[in-house]
């Protein structure tokens, strides 16, 4: 049986703090949140009626890295002073400089913040995309209720999101971008509520998940439509033998004249579900062969999720979609003792991520929609800068994230890279970086590019006004 990890004093203090702060925050913001999210249905209707048809196609592809990816080994400074700080604390997780065996992959950013950088050695494809301009990196992003300094954090004078180091809580906060409430919708769902009228048909939802139920895609009007890596899940009956007869018998039963209200409603829902699954599977039939794609997708779970997303993008005209939002995921990043450096568990995960994101980008180029498809990563949190006994790390906070696509203002690192110093200007006290860019800012930049008008950004991201800008500039 797995031993339960003892909480640090910092985590205990945060739990106590939550009881005081959540009440204060709720008093300040609950009314605004409730009215904002409740009114989304009305805003959506007004906006949808005013929206003119569009000719372009756009898709957002959220790739969630479940467990908390160690951003400290994704993006590493390689200049002497900063790399010295890095190497002094990373112990068994230290990655070597570019030019060495399994060394960091050099990045050539167009902007200069005084550092040089390298990407994890397994991220060859992502490094190439960065250096050719189709990839950007967002530094030190995390959940925030307001801008926060280390001094304010330690003095407890500015509220922080509840349950900072909890997997489930932080996953929800990333997906909703409303950190101190429990909204029923995610920011992808709220964006879809405003934009679904751009599609000529929404029989199949514009929000399609390859990773099951999630909060990110849940809206007031639009919800996620779950699809497997083989296609829409319909009635699981064989297509040979007695299967077709059984299917027809079931359809006949569904279509009986039902006098009972509930039976009638169920019949209607079943017919709609069967019709939608049939329509989707028909729309993606042309891309069934793996050889359809010039760049082969990995056979991993993420590779097959992104391959299906490519197929759904190709099928968008048949589905009547001008806008689509996808959700995919890869798990296994909660590596307390077996993370590894250039090789090992994290290296394997990052290598898969790099290959998969590159394959999807190349697929969008093949389809001629690369400027309209943007992939972006999200994760619970980063990992602590100091290393546990062995080769693992604990739950942390601010993290580095990747954005890929033809519409990305790439070859740049956005935000402020943290000072790699325990007890330093960006640390809570134990090597957990306080974010300098909020989830709201990262997400709002994507939502604006996707088509949410600047005037409605605050309705999707109620706290965005607390931060300096709603557009970080990484999208064209």
184-241 residue pLDDT tens: 999 999 999 999 999 999 999 999 999 999 999 999 999 999 999 999 977 665 667 7
What pLDDT is attached to residue 14? Answer: 54
Q: Give Cα 79 to chain centroid, integer Å.
A: 30
What pLDDT is attached to residue 474? Answer: 98
- Identify the CATH number of the domain in which residue 67 sits: 3.40.720
pLDDT < 50: residue spans in the chain: 1-4, 16-42, 44-46, 48-50
Report yes or no on 272 lying in a domain.
no
What pLDDT is attached to residue 390? Answer: 84
What pLDDT is attached to residue 107? Answer: 98
Among the listed residues 389, 331, 443, the one whose alpha carbon sits nearest the alpha carbon of residue 65? 331
Report yes or no on 268 lying in a domain.
no
Report yes or no on 5 lying in a domain.
no
Report yes or no on 399 lying in a domain.
yes
Residue 207: its H or E element:
strand 207-209
Side-chain-facing half-sphere of 95: CA atoms under 13 Å:
32
Q: What CA–CA distance (Å, rounded) separates 68 from 331?
A: 9
Handedness of CA 18, 21, 24, 27 (dihedral sign): negative
Range of the domain at 401: 10-232+287-466
User: Which residues are CB-neighbours of 338 under 8 A, at least 6 positions away?
Assistant: 344, 345, 390, 391, 392
Side-chain-facing half-sphere of 36: CA atoms under 13 Å:
21
Task: Dig out the tokens for 376 from the structure.
Answer: 């972006």
DSSP 177-203: S-TTS--S--HHHHHHHHHGGGSS--S
Is there a contact between 451 and 192 (Cβ–Cβ < 8 Å)?
no
Report yes or no on 255 lying in a domain.
no
What pLDDT is attached to residue 242? Answer: 77
User: Which residues are CB-neighbours of 144 under 8 A, at least 6 positions away?
Assistant: 160, 161, 179, 435, 438, 439, 440, 467
Question: How many domains is the chain partitioned into structurally?
Answer: 1
DSSP character for 7? P
**Burial class of residue 320 in the structure, from the number of CB atoms within 10 Å of its CB (0-12 exposed, 13-18 middle, 19+ buried):** middle
Report yes or no on 407 lying in a domain.
yes
Report yes or no on 147 lying in a domain.
yes
Among the listed residues 91, 120, 122, the one whose alpha carbon sits nearest the alpha carbon of residue 390? 91
State the first-to-last Cα distance of the chain, in angstroms, to the nearest integer.
50
Report if pTM > 0.85: yes
Report yes or no on 260 lying in a domain.
no
Among the listed residues 64, 183, 47, 167, the one whose alpha carbon sits nearest the alpha carbon of residue 443? 64
């Amino acid at each position: 049986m797995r031993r339960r990890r003892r909480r640090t004093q910092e985590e205990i203090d945060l739990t106590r703090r939550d009881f005081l702060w959540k009440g204060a925050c709720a008093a300040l913001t609950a009314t605004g949140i409730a009215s904002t999210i409740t009114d989304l249905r009305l805003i959506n209707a007004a906006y949808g009626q005013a929206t003119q048809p569009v000719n372009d196609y756009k898709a957002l592809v959220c790739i969630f890295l479940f467990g908390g990816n160690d951003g400290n080994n994704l993006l590493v400074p390689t200049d002497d002073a900063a790399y010295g700080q890095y190497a002094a604390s990373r112990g068994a997780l230290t990655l070597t400089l570019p030019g060495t065996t399994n060394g960091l992959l050099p990045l050539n950013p167009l902007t200069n913040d005084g550092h040089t950088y390298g990407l994890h050695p397994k991220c060859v494809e992502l490094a190439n995309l960065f250096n050719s301009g189709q990839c950007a990196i967002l530094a030190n992003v995390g959940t925030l209720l307001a801008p926060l300094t280390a001094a304010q954090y330690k003095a407890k004078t500015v509220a922080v999101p509840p349950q900072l180091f909890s997997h489930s809580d932080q996953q929800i906060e990333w997906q909703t971008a409303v950190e101190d409430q429990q909204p029923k919708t995610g920011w992808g769902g709220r964006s879809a509520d405003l934009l679904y009228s751009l599609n000529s048909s929404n029989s199949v939802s514009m929000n399609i998940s390859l990773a099951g139920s999630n909060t990110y895609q849940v809206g007031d009007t639009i919800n996620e439509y779950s699809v497997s890596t083989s296609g829409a899940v319909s009635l699981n009956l064989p297509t040979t033998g007695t299967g077709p007869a059984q299917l027809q018998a079931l359809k006949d039963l569904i279509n009986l004249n039902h006098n009972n209200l509930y039976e009638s409603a169920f019949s209607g829902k079943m017919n709609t579900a069967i019709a939608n699954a049939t329509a989707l599977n028909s729309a993606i039939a042309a891309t069934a062969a793996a050889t359809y794609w010039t760049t082969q997708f990995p056979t991993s779970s993420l590779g097959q999720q992104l391959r299906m997303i490519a197929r759904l993008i190709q099928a968008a005209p048949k589905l009547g979609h001008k806008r689509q939002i996808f959700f995919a995921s890869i798990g296994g990043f909660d590596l307390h003792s077996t993370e590894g450096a250039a090789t090992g568990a994290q290296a394997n995960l990052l290598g898969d991520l790099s290959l998969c994101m590159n394959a999807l980008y190349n697929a969008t180029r093949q389809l001629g929609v690369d400027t309209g498809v943007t992939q972006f990563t999200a994760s619970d949190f980063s990992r602590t800068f100091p290393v546990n006994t062995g080769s693992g790390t604990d739950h942390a906070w601010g993290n580095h994230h990747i954005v890929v696509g033809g519409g990305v203002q790439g070859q740049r690192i956005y935000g402020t890279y943290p000072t790699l110093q325990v007890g330093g200007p960006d640390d809570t006290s134990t090597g957990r970086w306080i974010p300098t860019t909020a989830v709201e800012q990262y997400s709002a930049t994507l939502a604006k590019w996707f088509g949410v008008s600047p005037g409605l950004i605050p309705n999707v991201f109620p706290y965005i006004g607390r931060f300096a800008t709603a557009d970080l500039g990484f999208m064209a």
